Amino acid sequence: MPASKKVFGIVLAGGEGKRLMPLTVDRAKPAVPFGGQYRLIDFALSNLVNSGLRQIVVLTQYKSHSLDRHVSQTWHMPNLLGSYVASVPAQQRLGKRWFSGSADAILQSLNLIRDEKPDIVVVVGADHVYRMDFNDMIDAHIQSGAGATVAAIRQPIELANQFGVIDVSPDDPTRIREFLEKPINATGLADSPGEVFASMGNYVFTADALIDAVTRDGENTQSNHDMGGDIVPDFVARGDAGVYDLKNNDVPGSTDRDRYYWRDVGTIDSFFDAHQDLISTLPVFNLYNADWPIYSQQLNSPPAKIVRDAQGNLGQLIDSIVSLGSLISGAHIERSVLGAWAKIDSGAHVVDAVVFDRVQIGANARVQRSIIDKDVIVDEGATIGVDPERDRARGFTVTDSGLTVVGKGVHVTP
């Protein structure tokens, strides 16, 4: 990014995450564990920090204790040149009310922008899994002269009804002509008729333009005060919104297989699918890119251990991720992700599962196509995910696709 431009980062992390229930019963969506040792917010913060941003605030609201704690413990930056990542809760600066939307969150936090006096503000969500170097997007934004620039990823046109779709001007493909929310009959891109631009929920604003937009939006009683639903369309209507194609973004260390990976993990099924993307031999999303690391809390834990049980049965681990402190004793683990300090006993089968921290799965238990939250105890011989109807009857969440979700701290009996 140009040395003369001061850039400020805002992470929108106040979301309730209703579609991820019961994983969000006790925590904000950005604090949901992911990939064994990460939290969802780590991906947004890692991208910003790797891009050279050193002044970043995380706007929180809903059940934010675990998120605030994670940010303070993990993202402590040396106070060089004013560097910081700070968690900022709703402060009711504009009256006795909480944030009524993502744009209102920024409106109520304008003191943060005015204190730093940046030229450019980068605004990102905290619930997407991806890698992105924001430097090129910032440069493109400055060169375009637009007040706002929206990051876009190319998606098949048949999936257009799942995204906010960006329609670009045929005369200038870098300018947004219209912003369409989940259109049924989308028009393909001029250079690729089978694809559309889907909004990634990442934005670059000229600071003064952002302040003006959220201030005017705050006075509009008909607005939902949402960044994607209200602020971006306002810039589009005034011809002041540009689009940045992720295809132009080249993250150091990325490969052709994972260069343009991006997932919105806002539902249980997409959350599960994103974990499956991690575990193949050539993963669709590569956690092992040392040139663009995903940072998280470094646990003071022993290494993971896979051993024979007392009867000499060998523990098996196939196409899976196992986090620090975990112990697998004579159990079979396949296509699964285990969080820290998971304990899997003899004869247990764990297949196609996402297991969070400190879960204990007893001998001869069976877990399949399931997500198991922290501190769950699965007794010897118990089953999860084997019979979805029985799981529903036991009070577990079961998705339409048959995924079973067990909430935090549940004791599962045979």
Which segments are annotated as binding site for alpha-D-glucose 1-phosphate?
A: 164, 181-182, 199
Per DSSP, what are the bridge partners of residue 264? 128
Backbone angles phi, psi at 207, to 5 degrees: -55, -50
How far apart, in whole angstroms, are the C-alpha atoms of residue 197 and residue 153? 6
Pick from 358, 301, 361, 302: nearest CA to 330: 361
Per DSSP, what are the bridge partners of residue 52? none
* Residue 331 neighbours by CB distance under 10 Å: 27
Element (H, E) at 103: helix 102-107
Structure tokens of 126?
């905290």
Return the sign of the alpha-carbon dihedral for residues 140, 47, 25, 366: positive
- How far, CA to CA in Å, does 241 sit from each of 151, 166, 253, 293? 11, 10, 30, 31
How far apart, in whole angstroms, are the C-alpha atoms of residue 170 and residue 168? 6
**In one letter, which amino acid is 209?**
A
In three-state secondary structure terms, 88 is strand
Annotated binding site: 164, 181-182, 199
| DSSP state letter for 192 | B
**Cα-Cα-Cα-Cα dihedral of 202, 208, 212, 214, to 10°?**
30
List all residues 6 or more positions away from 324 whose beta carbon is below 8 Å from its beta carbon.
Answer: 37, 299, 301, 302, 303, 304, 340, 341
Rg of the Cα atoms in the chain: 22
Element (H, E) at 393: helix 388-393
